[in-house]
């Protein structure tokens, strides 16, 4: 056993990692991609809007608001109630020729109540309910756009992961090529064994990076599946770049104030709070309602002065005099609610201005980054070609070609990420202006 030579750590790692990576690379093109569906961004949008529970929850909120409107309409419609009773007495009571208490009696009543006036409260509540429906509808549209934004981020996350996987595959191929060159130069005695070992270690590292990149792609797809409810395997196609005519911030703010659903919600809430003051003030005014009553009675035996049927109408006027300062407290609360709604709207308006300026700055910055990384990538590709040729003919060292490789991979990743970040920055700008992907929700 003493004559056996212990393998180096780099060789041992390569011996394990190479078969694993070879199997993965063999499987990916044939089995992982050939049977997968191709998902477009528009299709992902539609699937997300149709399936995400955030949209369904907002839809239920709208249905509840519509139900509240039905309840407010019921306040101004007639209220009809019927009531019947049967009474059994312990004994019949009479005096001389008069029957005072029968053995049993049966009563039936039909009552109609029609509100006529309550200080405008019912109509204010009804207007308030209609505003709540509009607010809920804006909330539904806002939930849809929020889902679209999250879907965009998940979709481009998959695109980034796919691009990173392609970069890592290309890096592995270059590592294999460098290993072949190192082995060929070792045979002719141009380099030592350490150059081959270094190339093997670099290839093993490239294989490990490829495995990690594949895992990142699966995680990104899992997140997109969560947004779109897709169960099958899929790949995503790269959408065309979004056209974007950058306008001045003030003009975009005006657009956002017209198009943003959350700002529309704040406007409706403010109007509803104004109606709340009308409701509170109605508590200081009299109320008037009309009541009609029909009564039918039957007794066994009938009492002397039994009136079998009767009908009456009552006009009832109610004026509150003192309720422990309740009405004043309700009015103060309604005024506070209005001030709160105004502050919420004002705060959102200021936030919108900040969001638009930030988004414009992000678009400009990422555009500049894309151009810088594009030039960096062009230089890195040319540099790698030159250094690799020098390494092939013994002019450059292993360290030189590895340094050029690292610079190339970094430039490729930075450029790819910047390109997708630019699209996301455009989408963010569309979102903060309330114009994200028109027509997707129809």
Banded pLDDT at 30 (limits 50, 70, 90): very low
- Write down the CATH number for the domain with range 44-75+122-284+325-432: 1.20.1600.10
For residues 171-195, average pLDDT: 90
Could you state, in order of their start, the residue ranges of all structural domains in the chain?
Answer: 44-75+122-284+325-432, 78-88+99-117+285-319
pLDDT in tens, 218-237: 999 999 999 999 988 999 99
pLDDT at 102 over 80: yes
| CATH fold match for the domains 44-75+122-284+325-432 and 78-88+99-117+285-319 | no
- Write down the CATH number for the domain with range 78-88+99-117+285-319: 2.20.200
For residues 315-332, average pLDDT: 92
pLDDT of residue 219: 97
Banded pLDDT at 437 (limits 50, 70, 90): low
pLDDT in tens, 104-134: 999 999 999 999 999 999 999 999 999 999 9
pLDDT of residue 438: 62
Three-state SS string over the chain comes to CCCCCCCCHHHHHHHHHHHHHHHHHHHHHHHHCCCCEEECHHHHHHHHHHHCHHHHHHHHHHHHHHHHHHHHHHCCCCEEEEEEEEEECCCCEEECCEEEECCEEEEEEEEEEEEEECCCHHHHHHHHHHHHHHHHHHHHHHHHHHHHHHHHHHHHHHHHHHHHHHHHHHHHHHHHHHHHHHHHHHHCCCCCHHHHHHHHHHHHHHHHHHHHHHHHHHHHHHHHHHHHCCCCCEEECCCCCCCCCCCCHHHHHHHHHHHCHHHHHHHHHHHHHHHHHHHHHHCCCCEEEEEEEEEEEEEECCCCCCCCEEEEEEEEEECCCCCCCHHHHHHHHHHHHHHHHHHHHHHHHHHHHHHHHHHHHHHHHHHHHHHHHHHHHHHHHHHHHHHHHHHHCCCCCHHHHHHHHHHHHHHHHHHHHHHHHHHHHHHHHHHHCCCCCCCCCC
Q: Structure pTM? A: 0.82
pLDDT of residue 22: 43
* Percent of the chain predicted with pLDDT > 90: 75
pLDDT in tens, 398-431: 889 999 999 999 999 999 999 999 999 999 999 9
pLDDT in tens, 130-141: 999 999 999 999
pLDDT of residue 300: 87
């Amino acid at each position: 056993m003493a004559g056996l030579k212990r393998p180096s750590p780099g060789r041992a790692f390569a011996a394990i990692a190479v078969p694993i990576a070879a199997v993965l690379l063999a499987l990916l093109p044939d089995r992982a991609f050939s049977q997968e569906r191709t998902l477009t961004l528009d299709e992902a949008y539609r699937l997300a809007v149709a399936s995400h529970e955030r949209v369904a929850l907002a839809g239920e909120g709208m249905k509840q608001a519509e139900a509240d409107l039905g309840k407010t309409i019921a306040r101004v419609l007639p209220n009809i109630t019927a009531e019947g009773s049967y009474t059994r007495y312990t004994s019949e009571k009479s005096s001389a020729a008069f029957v005072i208490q029968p053995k049993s009696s049966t009563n039936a009543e039909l009552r109609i109540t029609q509100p006529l006036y309550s200080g405008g409260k019912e109509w204010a509540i009804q207007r308030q309910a209609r505003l709540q429906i509009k607010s809920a509808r804006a909330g539904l549209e806002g939930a849809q756009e929020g889902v679209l934004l999250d879907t965009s981020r998940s979709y481009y996350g998959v695109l980034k992961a796919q691009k990173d996987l392609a970069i890592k595959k290309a890096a592995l191929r270059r590592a294999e090529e460098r290993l072949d060159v190192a082995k060929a130069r070792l045979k002719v005695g141009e380099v030592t064994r350490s150059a081959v070992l270094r190339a093997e270690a670099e290839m093993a590292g490239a294989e490990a990076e490829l495995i990690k990149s594949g895992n990142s792609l699966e995680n990104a797809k899992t997140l997109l599946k969560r947004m779109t409810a897709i169960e099958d395997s899929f790949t995503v196609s790269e959408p065309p770049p979004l056209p974007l005519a950058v306008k001045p911030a003030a003009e975009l703010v005006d657009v956002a104030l017209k198009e943003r659903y959350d700002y529309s919600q704040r406007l409706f809430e403010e109007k509803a709070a104004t109606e709340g003051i009308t409701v509170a003030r109605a508590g200081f005014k009299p109320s008037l309602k009309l009541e009609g009553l029909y009564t039918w009675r039957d007794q066994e035996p009938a009492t002397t002065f039994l009136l079998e049927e009767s009908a009456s109408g009552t006009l009832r006027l109610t004026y509150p005099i003192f309720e422990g300062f309740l009405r004043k407290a309700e009015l103060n609360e309604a005024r506070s609610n209005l001030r709160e709604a105004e502050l919420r709207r004002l705060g959102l308006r200021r936030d919108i201005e900040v969001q638009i300026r930030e988004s414009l700055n992000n678009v400009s910055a990422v555009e500049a980054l894309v151009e810088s990384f594009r030039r960096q990538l062009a230089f890195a590709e040319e540099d790698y070609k030159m250094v690799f040729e020098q390494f092939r003919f013994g002019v450059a060292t292993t360290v030189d070609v590895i340094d050029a490789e690292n610079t190339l991979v970094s430039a490729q990743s930075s450029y790819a990420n910047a390109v997708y970040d630019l699209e996301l920055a455009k989408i963010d700008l569309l979102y903060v202006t309330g114009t994200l992907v028109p027509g997707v929700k129809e």
